[in-house]
Chain A
Amino acid sequence: MLKLGGKIIRIHAVDVHRDLTLLKVSTSRNLPEVLRREIAYLVSDQEIPRGFAHYLLLEKHKHLVEVLLSDSDYSLLPDDYSYIDDGDIIRLSADRQSISVLFRASSPHNSILVTEQCNHYCLMCSQPPKAADDSWILDEIESLIPLIPKDTRELGFTGGEPTTNRERFLKIISLTKSYLPRTAIHILSNGRSFKDPAFAEKYARIELHDAMIGIPVYSDDPTLHDYIVQAQGAFDETIQGILNLKRLGQKVEIRVVIHKLSVQRLPELCEFIARNLLFVDHVALMGLEMMGFTRANLDELWIDPVEYKDTLSKSVSILARYGMNISVYNHQLCLVNRDIQPYYRKSISDWKNEYAPECLSCTKQSECGGFFASGVKFGYSKHLTPF
């Protein structure tokens, strides 16, 4: 698991009033001077070029501090951050005490957290919502997007509920379209905002060329769905949101997290989707992540995937018979039946994915998605059977 943010050892700031919270990282020594003024240079063993806005040094290069010109801003990073590379984007905190890596050019899984506010309070939320005003994040995203490499293939927006501030959301999406016209966009939303046809239309009018909105539906029983997301009337609004988006030709993915509550009616949910929402572009059936609220509600949520093996097969086969586009995410290869294989995806983001001790002898580890790091730490199936 990669460390994406934390304290740094030391920042030498010449002029703390300079507005330098977001920085793009470069390893190129040949950048024109005009560009160097906006960019952080990642120090290597080679001679250090001059004129960069900031210099990043790993602990192993600590001795090179002396080589830097005295008027240079620099940060000394713990070796945890040795993965930082060309094209990455970092944030230095205003007090210059900590760093966050906001974008990793080498990762296919970059996701931007738009807000921590949400109108759901899902029992298994991996990113528990907060009520506080965090619109500073929106400001930051607006400065972040222009820094993201133009050849980025995919970019995610997540939350909280990213559409909480509707106008700012639309602004960010428009900005993304103009700065990153070739990037595929994936948005995780509960879909309820799109119940408003005017808002759905505004979103559609942006005309992103390749965008998918991932919307959770946890049960065909509205009451059970509302309970899982802890919001009354949520199911009704989410379904209307999906219908509005599809009416406007927007791509929609349905995301189902499988746990003890949602698995009760999983085949019924799949039949509901096949009959009522056949036109959605993708259905993702996902294993539970042992993060955030899940651990508080573990008794109610945890079910060993081995126990729902056959239910999962049945559910997938229903969707498959209707010709739907299906993926099974966040599962371990030894805990699904063979018939799941065509839909099985190694899906866990690289900075989250790990394997359990039982997996050491497994010959199929390279084909297996493994676990969320949180899973290995906080509990996983007792029935792992290495291939």
Chain B
Amino acid sequence: MSKFQKLEFYAQQRPYELLPFKFDRLNDNEYVITNMAGEFHVIPVPMLESIISKTLPLTSELIPTLRSKQFIRFTNEQAPLQLLALKIRTRLSRLAEFTNLHIFVVTLRCDHSCPYCQVSRQSESKGEFDMTTEMADKSLDFVFMSPNPAIKIEFQGGEPLLNFEMVRYVVLKAKKRNVKEGRDLQFVIATTLSLLNDDVLDFCKQHNIVLSSSLDGPMDLHNANRPRPGRDSHQRFEEGLKKARAALGYDQVSALMTTTDKSLPRARDIIDEYLRLGFDGIFLRTLSPYGFAIKTKKFMSYDTERWLEFYKEGLEYIIDLNKSGIRFVEQYSSLVLTKMLTSEDPGFVDLMNPAGAGIAAIVFNYDGSVYASDESRMLAEMGDQTFRLGNILEHSYEEIILSDQLLDALENSFTLSAPMCSDCAFEPYCGAEPVYHHAIYKDVVARKPESSFCKRNMAIFKHLIELMESDEQIKRIFMGWANRC
């Protein structure tokens, strides 16, 4: 008689208990189940009912996995509850830190005249579209009211380099104040790089300022999307990129692409252009519905389905690149994957709940208006002031942060209580997007079956999960992406 007990001796005898989880059909044959910590598992359709009715045999091979991912537990087990709580706390820990990103719109003037531009651009000479020092001072007061130990100040426009004096002013003032504040202070300038000069680069170098730029694809596509006098946007970008990398460091310049109807057939070309220029990732973005984008009907000129095809084609190409040893990331997927595969929240404003508007990021406009997000000020440029939280010269921090406009939007769009969101299996990966939904549907929640935001993201979530389920190598590539943030 062995002194060792058999495996059966340690098997649980009682029925298991369900821990909170949600489910959705992934395809004709499978469901995906998810929990608040972001854990997911794909199961064959007939299994779902037996899991929920607790009739799954205790010998089922599914039981260990359901326990391991905290979908079920047996009575008296404490570890699953502690792990779930810990992971959810970790996900939400960003909330307590409050606002990190502070956007300063130092001017609305721009040297480009892009048809999809999200803000109304003005000719280059008009001074009334510039931020004043008084506004900048008040905005900095506001910035340092944020309890966040890390503060990012991003300069936007227009083209911020057209009011570089104001950039310089804000950077120097902020750094001076920070001697006492001791925050982790970072600066970003969103610029086309077309007006970059040595003066600007010296200043950026001296103050560790990062440049965030725009690249829409190969020269013909980029220049068609981004007209400027001389039709040399792409050339200026590439020259600027070289100069900026040499001066500031290779990784100190990033690029964002905007998708237009012209981009849709050219996913590979666009990615190749990013590769050629030495970037290690690309953000396959959707066209946003604000500003000129809506006025010129560019937004409606292709539908979500067509964009998803573009995204999937691009992603497939990028995965192939990774499989052949080239480390290249699709950044939107990577944000979603961080939520799927880790307990971190990457803090991407579009995919946050409660919404990131106002509390993760806030905008100080050239005219003193304070907006809940970049999109909010674009909406305002179109005449809709819904997310204008106040004026920096007239209102206090408390008045702005506690304004009804902000709190109502946050509360009403909260995905854990919003109709259809609250019981959606993909809610842990998604976010409340009150500004977008208000802009399109005049309602911060909107009817989800009609929401292109919902449709697009659901399709992305399902696609990413199916890719991981179908190919272990892809899953491991994705694990690498998920942990970069």
Contacts and interface: CB of A to CB of B under 8 A. Distances in A.
Contacts of A236: 76-79
A64 interface: no
Contact of A223 (B3, B11, B79): B11
Contacts of A322: 342, 479, 483
B342 A223 contact: no
A240 interface: yes
A210 to B, nearest CB: 26
B342 A297 contact: no
Contact of A275 (B39, B77, B480): B39
A345 to B, nearest CB: 23
Contact of A297 (B4, B65, B78): B4
Contacts of A224: 7, 64
Nearest to A231: B10
Interface residues of B, number: 31
A278 interface: yes
A232 interface: yes
Interface string A213-253: 00000011111101100101101110110010000000000
Interface stretch (A142-150, A313-321, A353-361): A313-321
5 contacts: A121-B4, A224-B64, A243-B86, A321-B476, A321-B480
B82 interface: yes
A59 interface: no
A268 interface: yes
A232 B77 contact: no
A321 B10 contact: no
B12 A275 contact: no
B330 to A, nearest CB: 16
A240 B67 contact: no
B422 interface: no
Nearest to A247: B86
A230 B5 contact: yes
B143 to A, nearest CB: 31
B31 to A, nearest CB: 20
Q: Interface majority SS on A: helix, strand, loop or mixed? A: helix
Contact of B65 (A227, A232, A268): A268
Interface in A263-320: 265, 268, 272, 274-276, 278, 293, 296-297, 314, 317-318
Contacts of B82: 239-240, 243
A318 B476 contact: yes
A222 B16 CA distance: 13
A275 B90 CA distance: 11
Interface string B54-82: 00000000001101100000001111001
A230 B86 contact: no
A323 interface: yes
A223 B12 contact: yes
B10 A227 contact: yes
B343 interface: yes
A230 B9 CA distance: 9
Contacts of B105: none
Given A268-B65, A275-B87, A222 B4 contact: no
Interface in B209-238: none
A123 interface: yes
A222 B77 contact: yes
Contact of B78 (A121, A240, A276, A293): A240
B12 A321 contact: no
A314 B482 CA distance: 17
A346 B476 CA distance: 27
Interface string B452-485: 0000000000000000000010001001101100
A274 B480 CA distance: 12
B341 interface: yes
A321 B472 CA distance: 13
Nearest to A268: B68
Given A220-B68, A236-B79, A317 B483 contact: no
A235 B343 CA distance: 22
Contacts of B10: 223, 226-227, 232
Contacts of B483: 321-323
Interface in B75-110: 76-79, 82-83, 86-87
A227 B79 contact: no
Given A235-B79, A240-B82, A276 B87 contact: yes
